[in-house]
Chain A
Amino acid sequence: MTQYETVIGLEVHLELKTDSKIFCSSSTSFGGKPNTHVCPVCLGLPGVLPVVNKKVVEDAILVSLALNCRIAGFSKFDRKNYYYPDMPKNYQISQYDLPIALNGHLEIELGGELKKIGITRLHMEEDTGKLLHQGTITTTPFSLVDYNRAGVPLLEIVSEPDLRSPEEARIYLEKLKSIIQYTGVSDCRMEEGSLRCDANVSVRQFGKEEFGTKTEIKNMNSFRSLQKALTYEASRQIDVLEEGGRIVQETRTWDEGQGITLPMRSKEEAHDYRYFPEPDLVPMIIEREWVESIRNRLPELPDARRERYVRDYSLPVYDAGVLTSTKEMADYFEACLNAYSSPKTVGNWIMGDLSRLLNANNLEINECPVSPVNLASLLKTLDEGTISGKIAKVVFEDMFATGKDAGTIIKEKGLIQISDEGSLSAIVEEVIAGNPKSVSDYRSGKDKALGFLVGQVMKATKGKANPELVNKLFKEKILN
């Protein structure tokens, strides 16, 4: 059977979290009553004019720099013309042939190797409103329109067709999200629509240079559905080719429920957007000094931070990658290190118990009930031998559930480790007396039996016995 290669390029839309919209002073905040965050300008009333929000251009430049793009010296807005009731003017102010930035890239890690993914362009545009239907769009007796989102600033980031599998596409999108979150200009929440992704997909026989006919896939609302949709689409295309068919260039929509892509419109039905330069806005001349002043605001980005963790904290590359995947997690990690200086231990706790509890409770790390200082003091308590590792996990769960610090919980619940040799000796002797079979097993060389005996002491002390001390006592008392 012929071997095929999948070729994918992604078009990502990001909502910027500026205070006001891209061309007027209406609020961008989420969740207001319908049509309350609007003004004559974003409603497109007769006679109004757009004025560019400078913050949007700054944010666009910041993201462009983070993605290693070349910033245009001269850029302009254009009108993209098409009719849809969620668009107040029936044209969208966007950028066509002179976008704010071109020719960038980011690096993703694939099986330990770095791969550079090209970014074709980045441009600014306005978001549309939202249609509300009763039931489905085809059966609703009428539709309502909410223009609160109309005019919210968007960045569109178009990748080169450099991605070679659905998994690569997902990893690219995760990396893009991570970089943009570091810049702080967008929440990048796919579920809430502040990060949206369309994909161009084609397949070709391995070794061929020429691209196959592509389809555009829309409506993928999570990282998981992106990978699922692309996997489905690639195999659909391969099936068509294997059966001797041809790929139709078209736009398809991902149906999450059925797990398939469905045709939306063909190339012939594609819109002619009749782009032309927006006459209500003057072209932008982007001064180099301005770009440099924005560059100075760039935070340390995930790649640089990961390298620093490997270099300065001697963390494994994998750990460093996980800990720097979001700015919030890396910030949390570093805040812990300020109070507790073992990076590997802190990292293990964050990647282990902390992440597990966050996931289980559907929380982000910046919502974590355990503050970095409290985690650090728990680890110190552990080092000091006040509690055992096992008890520490219990204490941590309690800290997560209540927000209390470790000391309080240990005190309240009487969890201090018993390291007093005298009192532990008594319990050890009781266990030796009560379990002659295990004692003789251990004596005859069955090490497993020691574990059982230690367990009995732990049971008797509700886990508070110092395990090392208990081990030592058994060895002394049985073997000597």
Chain B
Amino acid sequence: MSLYYLTAHELHDLLIKKEISAVEINKAVFDRIGSVEDSVKAYLTLTREQAMKTALEVDDLIGAGRPIPPLAGIPIAIKDNICAEGVRTTAASKIIYNFIPPYDATVVKKLADQQIAMTGKTNLDEFAMGSSTENSGFFATHNPWNLGCVPGGSSGGSAAAVAAGEAVCAVGSDTGGSIRQPAAFCGVVGIKPTYGAVSRYGLIAFASSLDQIGPFTRDVTDCALMLNAICGHDPLDATSSTYEVPDFRRCLVHDIKGLKIGVPREYLSEGIDAEVRQVFEKAMSQFELNGAKMEETSLPHLGYSLPVYYLIAPAEASSNLARYDGVRYGFRSEGAQDVVDMFMKTRSQGFGAEVKRRIMLGTYVLSAGYYDAYYLKALKVRTLIKEDFNNAFEKFDILLSPTTPSPAFRFGEKTGDPLTMYLSDVFTIAVNLAGIPGLSIPCGFVNGLPVGLQLMGRPFSEGKLLQAAYTFEQSTDHHKKHPEL
């Protein structure tokens, strides 16, 4: 097997056995980037020098017989809406095409403490608004399994990089499915942790009450290692939780006997591809074979997730994105007559169509006279959706669904109609509204394209999701398949 397709824990074993060096690992990955990046286009910025320097330091440590953290020297990509000090961070938007943060996101700092080798910053839909990475202000990323298809979004670059061997792990962000949907489309493991489990400090905000950072990995074990590295309270993020983070490696137990799994029927009704449904049913049988107790259940308000999301997320976004005005940093339109003209020209020229659509939508729903009917009502329905999940978790340890109703679609297939595009997140959005963790794991293929299985759990039950996913993974071999590039 090629070095660039090994997992982080496999590479770590080789490193500490001194069978391989961190420099060799990083060379292999950057060589891989050299050969496939032109067709995948996962990265907006590469940080090869930085990665190589860290790799050398890690090799020195190993040479000196010193212990190294589990992710030391591992090539890891960061979504380009997460700030890294001194490295251009754009959120894939022309409006901050030249922004170089003078600070690290807490996640980046925590990974740096682990001495990871940061490979670069990955492509996304502008400000994480989209489901295909076609909304990037710079270029689209391609699905490594089929270059004519999208990798999903908004963390399409991160998912594609891990799937294509251009990084061993990656970090993304998930506001309505932006980790799980691309993980499903690209055949990798992705988790959106519980809201508050990972610090958002340094994540360029889209919708603050929904945004959460999480990892992309090639298997569940790596997922646990990444969570160990990035979870935990951060005094710089008032919404980050003070819960005690477990060692997630201890959750990697091949046993789910007696685990109670609910399958909400709303996920299997309309709009789901017949082939995706077949793959999902096969996965369900696997859980049963492993000893889980499966039962159908219901989340009655699930159908409101999409409309609720498209009121709350744009409302918060309209405010979060107000700061991009050309005054302090980023793009400023030339030749404005006065300051208002400068604001308008800068924002008209700097933002892409989808971002503008959501800013307008959000501004509208917060306006005097509409707030109660739209935003406030949406908050109330959000509470109902949360209660649906609470009720379900009274009875079940885990809820199971397909991650997406269909596999990766072709470029341009949904760009003409925003609503069709929004529907590709219909299975993932409720998890963000409820603030609970959701994990997507590969569970099969349809026409050569990966299909994802979504596991949902109670707040801060990431360990349980990992255990169930690990057991499934050990019983299947989907995670061992790689795209041919």
For A147, give the chain B residue with the smallest CB separation.
Answer: B328
A45 engages B101 (CB within 8 Å) = yes
A-facing residues in B302-317 (Cβ within 8 Å): 315-316
Q: Which residues of A contact B375 (CB under 8 A)?
A: 276
Q: Closest residue of chain A to B201, judged by CB?
A: A49
B238 adjacent to A51 (CB under 8 Å):
yes
Q: Which of A81, A88, A145, A274 has the most chain B CB within a 10 Å cutoff?
A: A274
Q: Which of A29-57 contact B (CB under 8 A)?
A: 40, 43-52
Q: Do the beta carbons of B101 and A47 come within 8 Å of each other?
A: yes
Decide: A46 near B239, CB < 8 A? Known: A89-B322, A279-B208.
no
**Contact between chains at A272 and B101 (CB < 8 Å):** no
Query: Is B99 interfacial (CB-CB < 8 Å)?
Result: yes
The interface size of chain A toward B, counting residues with CB under 8 Å, comes to 29
- A89 to B368, alpha carbons, bound, how many Å? 21
Interface residues of B in 92-113 (CB under 8 A from A): 96, 99, 101-103, 105
- Cβ of B209 and Cβ of A274 under 8 Å apart? no
Cβ of B359 to closest chain A Cβ, rounded Å: 11
A85 to B238, CA, bound (A): 26
Chain B: CB-nearest residue to A280: B208
Give Cα distance in the complex from A90 to B101, angstroms: 19
Known contacts A51-B236, A274-B363, A281-B238: A81-B99 contact under CB 8 Å: no
> Restricting to B71-88, which residues have a CB under 8 Å from any CB of A?
81-83
Residues of A within 8 A of B209 (CB): 279
Q: Give every chain B residue within 8 A of A43 (Cβ-Cβ).
A: 328
Contact with A47, one of B203, B322, B363, B371 (Cβ below 8 angstroms): B203
Q: Is the interface of A mostly helix, strand, loop or mixed?
A: loop
Contact indicator per residue, chain A 289-328, by CB within 8 Å of chain B (1) or not (0): 0000000000000000000000000000000000000000
* Minimum CB–CB distance for B33 against chain A, Å: 25
Cβ of B408 < 8 Å from any Cβ of A? no
Using A276-B371, A280-B208 as known contacts, say yes or no to A47 and B323 having CB atoms under 8 A apart.
Answer: no
The answer to whether the Cβ of B202 comes within 8 Å of any Cβ in the partner chain is: yes
Q: Is the CB of A280 within 8 A of B322?
A: no
A276-B371, A279-B208 known; A49 vs B323 contact (CB < 8 Å):
no
User: Complex: how many Å from CA A276 to CA B182?
Assistant: 31
- Does A45 contact B329, Cβ atoms closer than 8 Å? yes
Residue B430 CB within 8 A of the other chain: no
**A81 near B322: Cβ-Cβ < 8 Å:** yes
Give, as a whole number of angstroms, the nearest-CB distance from B432 to chain A. Answer: 13
**B325: CB under 8 A from chain A?**
yes
B-side contacts of A81, CB under 8 Å: 318-319, 322, 366
Within 8 A of A (CB), among B437-467: none
For A82, give the chain B residue with the smallest CB separation: B322
Complex CA–CA separation, A88 to B89 (angstroms): 19
Name the one of B316, B323, B339, B343 contacting A89, with C-beta atoms under 8 angstroms. B323
A447 smallest CB distance to B (angstroms): 77
Contact A47 B205 (CB under 8 A): yes
- Distance between Cα atoms of A44 and B368 in the complex (Å): 26
User: If the complex has contacts A40-B103, A52-B238, A143-B339, are A46 and B368 also in contact, measured as CB distance less than 8 A?
Assistant: no
B-side contacts of A282, CB under 8 Å:
238-239
Q: Which residue of A lies closest to B376 (CB)?
A: A276
Q: Which of A40, A49, A51, A81 has the most CB of B within 10 A?
A: A49
Residue of B nearest to A52 (CB): B238
Find the B residue at minimum CB distance from A86.
Answer: B327
Q: Please give, as numbers and ranges, the residues of chain A lying within 8 Å of B325 by CB-CB distance.
A: 83, 85, 90
Q: Which chain B residues lie closer than 8 Å to A44 at the CB level? A: 323, 328
Query: Do B237 and A49 touch across chains, with their CB atoms under 8 A apart?
Result: yes
A-B pairs, top 9 by smallest CB distance, nearest first, are A90-B322, A279-B208, A274-B366, A279-B209, A46-B204, A47-B202, A89-B323, A47-B204, A47-B83
Between-chain CB contacts (< 8 Å), 12 pairs? A43-B328, A44-B323, A46-B96, A46-B324, A48-B201, A49-B200, A49-B236, A79-B319, A81-B322, A90-B322, A274-B319, A281-B238
Residues of A participating in the B interface, judged by any CB pair closer than 8 Å: 40, 43-52, 79, 81, 83, 85, 88-91, 143, 145, 272, 274-276, 279-282
Residues of B within 8 A of A (CB): 81-83, 89, 91, 96, 99, 101-103, 105, 200-205, 207-209, 235-239, 315-316, 318-319, 322-325, 327-329, 339-340, 343, 363, 366-368, 371, 375
